[in-house]
Amino acid sequence: MSKRATVVGAGFAGVEAAFALANQGVYVDLYEQKPHNFSPAHSSENFAELVCSNSFKAMRVESAAGLLKEEMSRFSSICVDTAKKTKVPAGGALSVDREQFSNLITQQILENPFITVHRQEVKEIPKADAVIIAAGPLVSDALAEKIENLCGNSLHFFDAAAPIVSADSIDMENAFFQSRYDRGDGDDYINCPMNKEEYERFYNELLNAKSADLHEFDKRKGVYEGCMPIEVMASRGADTMRFGPLKPVGLRDPKTGQRPYAVLQLRKETLLGTMYNLVGFQTNLKFAEQKRVFSMIPALENAEFLRYGVMHRNTFINSPKLLNSDFSFKGEKGLFFAGQITGVEGYMESASSGILAGINAARYLKGEESLVLPNTTMMGALAGYISDPYVENFQPMGANFGILPPLDEHIRDKRERYGALANRALETLGSRV
């Protein structure tokens, strides 16, 4: 086949996309701006550079991270395979020697006869038979401008996300369904009330909670304009939150028949209603502090946090409006996106999107039908989440069991339930690999 594919970016998504294309017999031009141009977070000229933790999280299949890696392995993931070859002791987690990992990834890509590496910055969206943009969250300003022109007003330059909790971990004895002034369908929100004593205790702990450190490139003026962290709001006065995201107006607690002193509202994150967003709780608190402080709200005492709130620079597109579930760009034949720029969050999540984008770019070139995995698989659920038109206020998402549809039967024990979800995913994956 004479047609070629172009992949922009040699991070986790880019190397997986190039590798998947090569495995399909497609010749690839892989562009990487390092070492001529480094982002603020990168320092090595090698591919798939780890910029934060050297851990790829749990290995056990009964965990969301472990299930994702197992699914990726079945698609011959270069990142999972290399991680296993360069792992370091880390208990039940898959952690790697970061230099060995990136060295070996780079070596395999450079030695692949189907892949030609170009060490240069891409400033325009390439014209080729098939193109995959896997430029990462710190994409260069020049290319970011071209992507923004392509996407209109659907390109985001920072990630300001509130935490998400699993629906079945919310204590409904201390919560109730209701929309303000009974607007909507009546069950649009779950309301978590607090009395005066509970609110004041929560407020004081929030004031003293520890925030996460910011990189220099996250401290640029205006990055968080119009999106105030809840802890900053709290610092402006004891009642500021009660006139903001915790305002109780238009609500009545059915247990007391009265308006609560303060109310946190939870909003569905997906149409299935398996996970809920803490409305207005964008935060830069450390993850452990989020768990400790937000669990002081009575309805969230035993909440399972599927994603913690984050605030940092993270360029990503509004994928539900712009991408199909095969990672192709709507209205632009032959153009695909992969990696964190699509709204998946995490090393392996980015890599998994690269696998599917690469497979589907190859299928596009061959005139074959796209591979769209069922949402009962972790890879399919991530692809479905970032392309789901029902997702409101789209924010990046990592692998978690909350994005999978529930089982037909309810299993109370969480470990058993996760095991059943994992078994269903791998059985469903079956012959699709």
Task: Work out whether strand 27-31 and strand 4-8 pair parallel, antiparallel, or are unpaired.
Answer: parallel
Same domain flag for 29 and 168: no
Same domain flag for 168 and 156: no
Per-residue three-class SS string for 132-171 = EECCCCCCCHHHHHHHHHHHCCCEEEEEEECCEEEHHHCC
Same domain flag for 130 and 180: no
Give the span between the Cα atoms of 172 and 121, in whole angstroms.
53
Helix (H, G, I), strand (E, B) or coil at 182: helix
pLDDT confidence bin for 221, thresholds 50/70/90: very low
**Angle subtended by helix axes 64-73 and 78-85, to nearest 10:** 110
Domain termination residue (choose one: 285, 308, 331): 308
Same domain flag for 75 and 101: yes
Q: Give residue 51's pLDDT.
A: 75
Same domain flag for 227 and 245: yes
pLDDT confidence bin for 220, thresholds 50/70/90: very low
Contacts (Cβ under 8 Å, ≥6 apart) of 222: none
Pick from 15-29, 172-186, 221-235, 335-349: least confident: 221-235
Same domain flag for 245 and 335: no
pLDDT confidence bin for 218, thresholds 50/70/90: very low
Same domain flag for 293 and 385: no
Same domain flag for 101 and 190: no
Same domain flag for 16 and 82: yes
Give the span between the Cα atoms of 359 and 297, in whole angstroms.
45
If phi > 0 it is left, if psi is from -120 to 50 it is alpha, else beta; for residue 257 that is left
Q: Is residue 354 scored above 50 in pLDDT?
A: yes
pLDDT confidence bin for 292, thresholds 50/70/90: very high
Per-residue three-class SS string for 317-349 = ECHHHHECCCCEECCCCCEEECCHHHCECCHHH
* pTM of the predicted structure, to 2 decimals: 0.77
Contacts (Cβ under 8 Å, ≥6 apart) of 213: none
* Domain of residue 212, CATH code: 2.40.30.260
Q: 227: buried, middle or exposed (CB in 10 Å: 19+, 13-18, 0-12)?
A: exposed
Q: Give residue 226's pLDDT.
A: 47
Query: What percentage of the chain has pLDDT greater than the value 70?
Result: 91
Domain termination residue (choose one: 269, 284, 308): 308
Domain termination residue (choose one: 308, 337, 361): 308
Give the span between the Cα atoms of 341 and 428, in whole angstroms.
28
Stretch 19-23: mean pLDDT: 98
Give the span between the Cα atoms of 30 and 10, in whole angstroms.
7
Number of domains, the chain: 2
Stretch 352-380: mean pLDDT: 97
Of 286, 290, 315, 321, the closest CA to residue 304 belongs to: 290
Residue at token pair 């933790």: 53
Q: Give residue 223's pLDDT.
A: 42
Same domain flag for 116 and 264: no
Same domain flag for 15 and 154: yes
Helix (H, G, I), strand (E, B) or coil at 276: strand
Q: Is residue 380 scored above 50 in pLDDT?
A: yes
* Domain of residue 54, CATH code: 3.50.50.60
Same domain flag for 135 and 239: no
Its domain, for residue 173, covers 164-308
Task: Work out whether strand 262-268 and strand 189-194 pair parallel, antiparallel, or are unpaired.
Answer: antiparallel
Q: 213: buried, middle or exposed (CB in 10 Å: 19+, 13-18, 0-12)?
A: exposed
If phi > 0 it is left, if psi is from -120 to 50 it is alpha, else beta; for residue 261 that is alpha
Q: H-helix or E-strand containing 235? A: none
